[in-house]
Structure 1
Amino acid sequence: MGIQDIIEGKKQWRAHTARVKALPPDYQIVHKEMQRYLFKVGPVDLPDGPLLTGIVDFFEEGVAAGKGVLELIGNDVAGFCDDLVKDCPTYADVYQESISGEPGTVEK
């Protein structure tokens, strides 16, 4: 990863945060909780993947439709996040696979 990649990544992250800050306060709170949850248990490709941007797109559409954030995702934020990443490999999956091998064997 070169310096240009780092700079571009920071620009993209700042643009993402600016979009989140433009959302109503209740959407911002839920987004922050979703982000916290997803960074703990979420997919391996979360930082580089389209998931976080897609959530902001979804929230912006909800705001435009005049809906509250809980009308969009329901009362169980963690459950909603789990449904989003159910088919994606997570860090927990990677860890589980790494310890599931027999001791003293080399994985291919």
Structure 2
Amino acid sequence: MGIQDIIEGKKQWRAHLARVKALPPDYQIVYKEMQKYFFKVGPVALTEGNLLAEIVDFFEEGVAAGKGVLELIGTDVAAFCDDLIKDSRTYADIYQESVTAKRSTTDD
């Protein structure tokens, strides 16, 4: 990864954060909680895809439709997050697979 990639990544992240800040306060609070949750759980899709950007898209559509954030996602933020990543691998999964693979090679 070159310096230009890093600079471009920072520009994209700042633009993303500006979109989040443009959301109503209740949406911002829920977004930040979702972001913390995803950073803790570590879905691979978070770094390889556009999961957070897609959430902002979804929230912007909800705002445009005049809906409250809890109307969109329900009252259990963690359950909503889990449902979004239910088919995604997490870094914990990858770690567990590597530990299991090491055990099986040492058991041989």
How does the TM-score come out when normalised to structure 1?
A: 0.92
TM-superposition CA deviations, 1:6-44 (whole Å, max 9, x none): 001000000000000000000000000000000111312
Residue correspondence of structure 1 range 63-74 to structure 2 within 5 A: 63-74=63-74
Say if 2:53 is the partner of 1:53.
yes
TM-superposition CA deviations, 1:29-62 (whole Å, max 9, x none): 0000000000111312413411100000000000
Q: C-alpha root-mean-square deviation of aligned residues, in Å?
A: 1.5
* Dislocated runs of 4+, deviation >6 Å: none
Secondary structure, in 3 states, of the residue corresponding to 1:46?
helix
**Alpha-carbon distance in 2 for matches of 1:56, 1:92:** 25
Residue 11 (structure 2) aligns with: 11
Unaligned runs of 5+ in 2: none
Report sequence identity in percent. 78
**Alpha-carbon distance in 1 for matches of 2:2, 2:45:** 19
How does the TM-score come out when normalised to structure 2?
A: 0.92
Query: Going by fraction, where is helix more abundant, 1 or 2?
Result: 2
**Alpha-carbon distance in 2 for matches of 1:11, 1:43:** 23
Unaligned runs of 5+ in 1: none
Equivalenced residues, count: 106
Distance 1:17 1:89, change over 3 A: same
**Alpha-carbon distance in 2 for matches of 1:80, 1:64:** 21
